[in-house]
Structure 1
C-alpha cells in the first residue's frame, strides 16, 4: 500500500515537472520548424510527442483498470463475458501454459457499434454480417479493451469510417505483470484469451469465420498474427473443434520482433527515437518484454514464432510461416521506431502469400500507432478511411 502511494506521488511529481518545466522549454526550442523531430510537424504535434515520450510508462507493475476481472459499466458501454476454452488449448501452447502456471479463464469483451445503433451485446449476426475482432496494444502490459481507454480511440475510429460493418468486439485479455517479483499472466496467457474471444464470436454469437476481420495494433498486432498461426496449426493437427481462420487481417504498427538486442544505429529503432514516443531500445520497453516472457529466457524471443512472428534474425525460417494466412493490410508510420518491423513483416508475408494479398501503407511522418491519437491528423483519418474501404472490399 505504501509502495503504491509512493509511486502515485512520484507520478504526480514527474507530471508537474513535465508541465511546468519541460513544456515551456520544448515550446521555445521548437518554435523554428527545423528544430522539430520532423520539420513537417506542427508545434502542437511536436509538443504532444514530447509529452508522451516523458510520461509513457510500460514497465511498471501498477495494476491497470479496467481489466479482465470485471466489466466496468458506464454510459453506452456494452460487454459480454467470454467463456474459457480449456479444450481448445493444445500442443506447444498447452505445454507453455502449464510451464507458466496459467490456464483459460473467463474474461470480458466490449462491443463497439456504429453511432445511432442499439444492438444487444452478443446478438446473433444478420445474414452475411461482418464483424471486427479487435486485439488492443500496450506492450502486453498496459491499456484496456474498455471503450474509455486511450487505445479504444482506434476502435471508435474504425466504427466511424466503416459503412456495412456495424460491430466490433474488443477482447479484454489478461495483462502480463509481476507481483512480489513473480510472473503473473505471462506468455501464452494473451493468446489463450484471444482464442477464447475468437471462439466466442464463432460458436456463441454465430459469426461465420469468413465474415470476421481480425485487427490489432502494436502488441495486439503481434497477438492477431499468432492467433491465426494457432488456428492454422490446430486445424492441420486435425482438431475439428477449432474454428476456421478469419477472412482478413488488419495490422496497425505491429510489434512482431520482441528480441532484446543491440540495434543497428541506422535502424528505425534508433533512427526514429527522437520522433516517436515508443523507444523499443529503452530499458522501460525491455522490462515490459520481460513481464510478457515471464520465466522464459529473453533469448527465446528470437526463435519462438509465437513470440516473434517476423524477427529480423534468421532463427525463424524466412518463408512458409505465413502460408494460408488471409489477405492482410499493414499500416505503419515512417517516424516510428517499429517502422523496420512492419517492412520486414511485409517482405516475409509477400514471400508466402504474393504481393496481391499483402499491402503495406506507410505514412511518412506518422508516429507509432498513430490511429490511437485523435490529434494525429490528417494521417489518422486517411488511414482509417483506407482501412474501412479495405475491410469492406469483397475481393
Structure 2
C-alpha cells in the first residue's frame, strides 16, 4: 500500500491548497485552487494530520491541510431506478471524500487495496454552479439527478451531510483540476463496455444489428460506393469502400463489439493451445530486470512479471528447431502484435501472424519470435501498463540470454498498438542500459539494431485530436472514433494505473505526444522504419513521431513512408496488396 501525502509548499501557505501526487513526481501538473473560502468553510479549516482509510480499514493517504475544508468520507452508491445488481457491483468500486461546505474533494490520488478496487478521483465540485455536472455523462441517470441530490444537501444544511448518498458512477481515473473552477482532462469510462455480453441480451442485440446491417446499412453503403465522387478517396474501388464500412461496424474494436464483446476468442497468455505444427515455448518471468521508474510503476499498478507463451515463426522454406542457437551473424525478428491493446494474439494461427510472416519474407532474418503479452482487460480494468512491457522484456531476455542472439541482430517489429509496445521496450533498454548490462548479455551502450513500426499508435493522449487532424477527420478508416467505445476504453485501460494526464505526458505511453510537458527523447534508439496509411486515423501521429526521432537520431537513421490512400495497418488487408508490396520492398531496402 502506497500512501499519498498532500501538503502545501511554504510559498503557498497563505494561498490555495496545493495538491501533489507524490508517486508521479510532477506536482506542477496536478494542483487545485480554492479561490474563495466562505466564512462557514473557514470554520472547518484544520492543520491536523488526517489518516484516511477505505471501507476495508486500509490506510489510503495522510493529509495536511492549512487552507482547506474538513474531509468527510462517503461511499457512492446507486439509488433506484438502477437494478440492485448494478448497485452492488459498483459499490465496491467507488469511494469518494466530501466536504460539508463549498467543495467536493478527493485528496490527491487515492490508492485502494487491490487492483479491482482502485479508484482515482481528483475533482472539485462547486456547489453553487454545478459546473462539473454539465461536463459528465452519467450512466443511467442524467446530470440533473445529481444536481438535485446536491441542492437538497445544501438545503438541508451541513448538519445532515453525513447521510448524503450521491448518484455518481465514477470508476478508476476521472479528471484533473484546471485553474478555472472546472474540470479538464480525460475522465473514466463512465458508460460501461461489454454491458450486453451476457445472454439473452447479447443474442438479441446482435440479431437487431444484423437486421439493421443487411436491410439498412448495406444498401446505403452500396449506393454511396457506386459514384466515384462519393468514395472517401478517388483511388478506392467500390468493393474496398464497401468492405471498409462493414469492418468499421463489425470489427472486434467496433461499436457492436463494444456492447457485446469480441466475436471470436483468441489464445492469450494463460495457456498454449495444443495446435499441431506450432512452435511454442513458455517464457519465465524476469523480476530481476525490473529497475527504475518502470519497477516503481509496476508496484503501484500491482502488476507483476508472469509466465507467458512465446511463438517461433520460420521463414518460408526453413525449419529451425525451437530455441536453436543462432548462426554467426544471424538476425531474428522480435514481433509485438497489435490489437488496440485489448485484442488479438501472437499465435501463428491468429490474423496478426500475417504481419510477421510477410516481413520475414522480405528480411535477412531466418526466424521470428512473437511474445504473447498480456492484453488490457476492460470490465473491470486489468493488466495496465507496464504489464505488457514486463512480458515483452521477458521475450527480449529469452532471445539474448537463453537463445544467444546478439542484441544488434534483433529486429523489433510492431504494428498499431504493437508499435507502442516496441517503442516502450526500446525506451526501457535505452533508459536503463547501464544497469541492464550488468543483468543481461548487453553492451554498456544501446544496441545498434533496427526497428519497424507499422501504423504505430504512439499517442494515447489527445494532442493529435485537433480540428482538421487525421484522428478526427479520417472517419472513412475502419478504425472507429478514438474518443468513444473500445478505442477510448483501451486508452483509459492501458494507462489507468497512472494519474490523470499521464497519457499526455508519459513518454512510455505517448512518445509522439505534442503536449508541451511531454519530453520524449529518442537518443540511443535503434534506426527506425515508420509506415502509416495515407487514409488512417493514426497518420498524423506517425508524422510527429518521425519528426521527433529525426531530431534525435538524424534523418539518415529514420525512414518514413506513407501508403497512398491506405487504411490503418494495411499489411493485414487483402484489399491493399499492391500498396503492401511497395511497403515490404521499402522494408527490405531498409534492412539491407
The TM-score with structure 2 as length reference comes to 0.62
Q: 1:100 to 1:37 in 2, by over 3 A?
A: same
C-alpha contact (below 8 Å) 2:378/2:490 kept by paired residues: no
| Structure possessing the higher radius of gyration over alpha carbons | 2
> Number of residue pairs matched?
387
Aligned residue number for residue 296 of structure 1: 498
Map 1:1-395; keep pairs closer than 5 Å: 3-6=197-200, 8-9=202-203, 10-11=205-206, 13-58=208-253, 62=261, 64-162=265-363, 164-179=364-379, 181=380, 183-237=381-435, 239-242=437-440, 244=442, 245=447, 247-260=449-462, 263-317=465-519, 321-391=521-591, 393=592
C-alpha contact (below 8 Å) 1:290/1:298 kept by paired residues: no
Q: 1:61 to 1:298 in 2, by over 3 A?
A: farther
Q: 1:223 to 1:240 in 2, by over 3 A?
A: same
C-alpha contact (below 8 Å) 1:37/1:275 kept by paired residues: no
Q: 1:39 to 1:234 in 2, by over 3 A?
A: same
More helix by share: 1
C-alpha contact (below 8 Å) 1:153/1:374 kept by paired residues: no
Aligned residue number for residue 52 of structure 2: none
C-alpha contact (below 8 Å) 1:141/1:177 kept by paired residues: yes
Of stretches 65-74 and 262-271 in structure 1, the one that deviates more from structure 2 is: 262-271
Displaced runs of 4 or more, over 4 A: 59-64
C-alpha contact (below 8 Å) 1:178/1:291 kept by paired residues: yes
Q: 1:153 to 1:36 in 2, by over 3 A?
A: same
Which whole-Å deviations, capped at 9, do the CAs of 1:164-183 have from their partners, x for residues lacking one? 3221111100001134x3x3
C-alpha contact (below 8 Å) 1:27/1:47 kept by paired residues: yes
Higher relative contact order (CA 8 A, sep 6+): 1
| Cα deviation, residue 327, structure 1 | 0.8
> Equivalent residue of 2:310, what SS?
strand
Mapped to 2, the partners of 1:174 and 1:228 lie a distance apart of 18
Q: Which residues of structure 2 form unaligned runs of 5+?
A: 1-194
Mapped to 2, the partners of 1:127 and 1:193 lie a distance apart of 27
Q: 1:22 to 1:338 in 2, by over 3 A?
A: same
Which whole-Å deviations, capped at 9, do the CAs of 1:330-374 have from their partners, x for residues lacking one? 011110111110000000000001101101011120111111213
> Equivalent residue of 2:384, what SS?
coil
Mapped to 2, the partners of 1:61 and 1:69 lie a distance apart of 23
Which whole-Å deviations, capped at 9, do the CAs of 1:200-241 have from their partners, x for residues lacking one? 111111111111100101111111011011011111456511
| Cα deviation, residue 52, structure 1 | 1.2
Mapped to 1, the partners of 2:464 and 2:418 lie a distance apart of 24
> Equivalent residue of 2:198, what SS?
helix
| Cα deviation, residue 45, structure 1 | 1.1
Q: 1:246 to 1:15 in 2, by over 3 A?
A: farther
RMSD: 2.2
| Cα deviation, residue 7, structure 1 | 6.2
The TM-score with structure 1 as length reference comes to 0.92
